[in-house]
Amino acid sequence: MTEQTHQRRAEVRALARLAGDELGGAVGGIGAVHRAIADRVFAAVRFGVGPAAAPVELVHDAITDGVYRAVRETAVAAGKLAERTVDLPGAEVPSRTVFGAGFLGALQGLIGDDLEESRPILAGPMTLRVDGDPVPPEEIGNYVAQPSPQVVVFLHGLVETEHAWRFGGRTSYAEGIEQDLGYSTLQVRYNSGLHISENARQLSELLERLVEHWPVEVEQLSLVGHSMGGLIARGACFDACESKRAWVGRVRHLVCLGSPHLGAPLEQFVHYASAALVRMPETRPLGRLLRRRSAGIRDLRQGSLVDEDWRGVDTDALSRRAIREVPLLDGAAHYFVTACVTRSPRHPLGRIIGDGLVLTPSAAGRNRARRIGFDDSNGLHVPAANHFTLLNHHAVYEGLRRWLSTAPEAAAERATQ
């Protein structure tokens, strides 16, 4: 059996088992909602007709509980059977196809921390990717025809993969940078459901190995991150400084595209909504479902970058907690891009929803309470655009090309003028 055949079979079977378990869980949740509603109905009936309703309620509960239990157990059993037998002979490894990788990326973003423990084959480690295939840093020289001393690393966002950079079907930023500047570009794929600090640590280790095995001496390392990717890039630089890793001394540019440095309003809303939903029996299953959201999503509540922000903390607590402010990397130029669905970020609608997922002040790293430290002159705003537009937009590319070809010293001088 080849390595790819083994990988394909393992991924397909793990997905089949997961589908059975999730379907069983969904049926159980529906059953719980049904039972909660029925209890209220029968309570009202008992109030009107008295104990005469008890036999009907008893029969109803016995039948419905039995049906839901049978369906739930059948779904789980089917998943267990598929885990042992199912395969797709002749098909490609799901994680190495655009569609399969996209599905797994979304799954990881939602419950990736759970997958890391229960089904690691579906979680996967952080890797460099070339045409969808994982490439160890020690072998990267075999995949780069003309390695440059200037290297740009692209990091996707939550529920995404490296294929997201082709949003809209246009030429990707990486392809443009290679053609226009002659730099080498690399794509990273990671499990976006893990804590941001965990992914930051993995990225730091990956870049250390990359710099060590790059075919030529790395003179300039630039990090470009979309959404969560920008936070992970910042966290990796901080982690590398704390652990005194050599690679971080090569970083010259860090670009954050729509990154929620101060938190994302959607996660903040879900945080409070789930707390409200678990209080009522009829909505408790939905509240529990929302509380299954991954550690990575929870970190977006306030833009948490370090372990101490979540370790030993009740993540469902409603009280706002203090988080550690992580400084920007000395010696590197930092840039940010914001977007807004309206023409002006001052428009009332634009103030409320920003780019649809991240508010403009959060992406710019400043509000009345917090300030990350970006220079305003190093920012770019894209009007009438949404969060995913930033993955492939001509104005963003022009900014990237200009920024990455500018020495940090020149950027600092321009910012002080």
How do residues 88-126 score in pLDDT, each as one tens digit?
888 899 999 999 999 999 999 999 999 999 999 999 899
pTM, 2 dp: 0.90
Looking at the domain assignment, is residue 75 inside a domain? Answer: yes
**What would the 3-class secondary structure string for 171-191 be?**
CCHHHHHHHHHCCEEEEEECC
Q: Which pLDDT belongs to residue 416?
A: 46
Instruction: Tell me 160's DSSP state.
Output: -
Looking at the domain assignment, is residue 394 inside a domain? Answer: yes
Residues 87 and 179 grouped into a single domain: no
Least confident of 18-27, 122-131, 134-143, 344-353: 18-27
Q: Which amino acid is at 352?
A: I
Q: pLDDT tens, 189-214? A: 999 999 999 999 999 999 999 999 99
Q: pLDDT tens, 303-351? A: 999 999 999 888 888 877 778 999 999 999 999 999 999 988 888 888 8
Q: What is the dihedral of CA 279, 280, 283, 288, to 10 degrees?
A: 30
Q: What is the distance between the alpha carbons of residues 365 and 376, in angstroms, rounded to a whole number?
A: 10
Residues 214 and 347 grouped into a single domain: yes
Confidence of residue 39 (pLDDT cuts 50, 70, 90): confident
Q: Which pLDDT belongs to residue 175?
A: 96
Is the confidence at residue 415, as pLDDT, over 50?
no
Residues 69 and 144 grouped into a single domain: no
Q: What is the distance between the alpha carbons of residues 252 and 330, in angstroms, rounded to a whole number?
A: 9
Q: Which pLDDT belongs to residue 46?
A: 64
Residues 72 and 125 grouped into a single domain: no
Looking at the domain assignment, is residue 314 inside a domain? Answer: no
Confidence of residue 24 (pLDDT cuts 50, 70, 90): confident
Looking at the domain assignment, is residue 303 inside a domain? Answer: no
Residues 70 and 125 grouped into a single domain: no
Q: Which pLDDT belongs to residue 375?
A: 95
Residues 343 and 240 grouped into a single domain: yes
End-to-end CA distance of the chain: 64
The C-alpha angle 355, 358, 361, rounded to 5 degrees, equals 100
Looking at the domain assignment, is residue 304 inside a domain? Answer: no
How many domains, the chain?
2
* Percent of the chain with pLDDT strictly greater than 70: 93
Q: What is the distance between the alpha carbons of residues 83 and 216, in angstroms, rounded to a whole number?
A: 45
Report yes or no: 165 and 105 within 8 Å, Cβ to Cβ: no
Half-sphere exposure of 9 (CA within 13 A, CB side): 11
Looking at the domain assignment, is residue 218 inside a domain? Answer: yes
Find the mean pLDDT for residues 387-410: 91
Single out the residue of 153, 154, 167 nearest to residue 102, CA to CA.
167
Q: Can you tell me which residue has the tokens 């443009």?
A: 176
* Percent of the chain with pLDDT strictly greater than 90: 64
Residues 243 and 367 grouped into a single domain: yes
Confidence of residue 85 (pLDDT cuts 50, 70, 90): confident
> Which structural domain, as residue segments, surrounds residue 82?
3-91
Token pair recorded at residue 63: 């039948």
Residues 186 and 45 grouped into a single domain: no
Report yes or no: 235 and 155 within 8 Å, Cβ to Cβ: no
Q: pLDDT tens, 241-293? A: 999 999 999 999 999 999 999 999 999 999 999 999 998 888 888 888 899 99
Is the confidence at residue 417, as pLDDT, over 70?
no
Tell me the β-bridge partners of 339: 382
Residues 42 and 142 grouped into a single domain: no
Q: What is the distance between the alpha carbons of residues 230 and 328, in angstroms, rounded to a whole number?
A: 12
Residues 331 and 377 grouped into a single domain: yes
**What would the 3-class secondary structure string for 295-350 be?**
HHHHHCCCCCCCHHHCCCCCCCCCCCCCCCCCCCCCCCEEEEEEECCCCCCCCHHH
Identify the CATH number of the domain in which residue 370 sits: 3.40.50.1820
3-state secondary structure of 256: strand
Looking at the domain assignment, is residue 83 inside a domain? Answer: yes
How high is the mean pLDDT of the chain?
89
Report yes or no: 87 and 12 within 8 Å, Cβ to Cβ: yes
Q: How far is CA 413 from CA 31, 377, 378, in A?
A: 64, 11, 11
Is the confidence at residue 413, as pLDDT, over 70?
no
Q: Can you tell me which residue has the tokens 């630089």?
A: 237
Residues 257 and 367 grouped into a single domain: yes
Q: Which pLDDT belongs to residue 119?
A: 92
Report yes or no: 306 and 347 within 8 Å, Cβ to Cβ: no
Q: How far is CA 192 from CA 224, 231, 300, 330, in A?
A: 16, 11, 11, 27
Least confident of 49-53, 158-162, 213-217, 259-263: 49-53
